[in-house]
Structure 1
Amino acid sequence: MPRAVIADDEPLLAEDLRRRLAALWPELDVAAVLGDGVAALAAINRLRPDFAFLDIRMPGLSGVQVAQGVAGTRVVFVTAYDAFALQAFDAAAADYLLKPLDEARLLKCIARLQQTHGAPPPAPPALATPRLHWITAGLGDSKRLIAAGEVVYFKARDKYTEVVTVEESHLIRMSLRELAARLDPDGFAQIHRGLIVNLAQVLSIELDLLGRCSLRLKSRPETLPLSRGYAQRFKAM
Structure 2
Amino acid sequence: MNDNAPVRAVLADDERLMRDQLRARLAEVWPELEIVAEARNGLEAVELVDQHRPDIVFLDIRMPGLTGVDAARQIAQLPPRDDGDDDDEPLPEIVFITAYDQYAVEAFEQGVADYVLKPAERERLQLTVERLRKRLAARRGEGDEAPAATNMQQLLHKLAAQLNPSAAPRYLEWIQAGVGNAIQMIPVQDVLFFVSDEKYTRVQTAQVEALIRKPIKELVDELDPQRFWQIHRSTLVNVNAISGVTRDFRGRQIVSVRGHPQKLEVSRSYNGLFKGM
In the superposition, the TM-score normalised over structure 1's length comes to 0.52
Per-residue deviation, residues 171-230 of structure 1 (Å, max 9, x unmatched): xxxxx748979x999xxx985xxx944699xxxxxxxxxxxxxxxxxxxxxxxxxxxxxx
Q: Equivalents in 2 of 1:190, 1:43: separation in Å?
A: 36
Give 5+ residue unaligned stretches, structure 1: 132-175, 201-237
Consecutive unaligned residues in structure 2, runs of 5 or more: 1-5, 77-90, 140-145, 158-195, 219-277
- How far apart in 2 are the matches of 1:184 and 1:68? 23
Give aligned pairs, total: 149
2:11 partner SS: strand
Q: Which amino acid aligns with 1:108?
A: L
Aligned equivalent of 2:63, options 58, 73, 76: 58
Q: Distance in 1 between matches of 2:153 and 2:132?
A: 22
CA contact (8 A) 1:49 1:73 kept: yes
Alignment correspondent of 1:12:
17
How big is the shift at 1:58?
A: 0.2
1:22, 1:61 → 2: CA distance?
A: 27
TM value normalised by structure 2: 0.45
CA-atom RMSD in angstroms: 3.9
- Report the AA paired with residue 105 of structure 1: R
8 Å contact 1:190–1:196 — kept in the other structure? no
Superposition pairs of residues 1-237 of structure 1, within 5 angstroms: 1-71=6-76, 72-85=91-104, 88-89=107-108, 93-120=112-139, 124-125=150-151, 177=197, 191=211, 196-197=213-214
Question: What is the rounded CA distance, in whole Å, between the counterparts of 1:34 and 1:96 in structure 2?
Answer: 18
Could you tell me how far apart the structure 2 residues matched to 1:90 and 1:178 are? 36
**Structure 1 residues 104 and 198: alpha-carbon distance in aligned structure 2, compared to 1, 3 A threshold:** closer
- Counterpart-to-counterpart distance in 2, 1:184 and 1:17: 45
Q: Show CA shifts across 1:61-109 (max 9, x none).
A: 1111111222301111111111323663598642111112221110111
Q: Which has the higher contact order (CA 8 A, sep 6+)?
A: 2
Could you say which structure has the larger radius of gyration?
1
Identity %: 39
Give 1:119 shift.
3.4
Higher strand fraction: Structure 1 or Structure 2?
Answer: 1
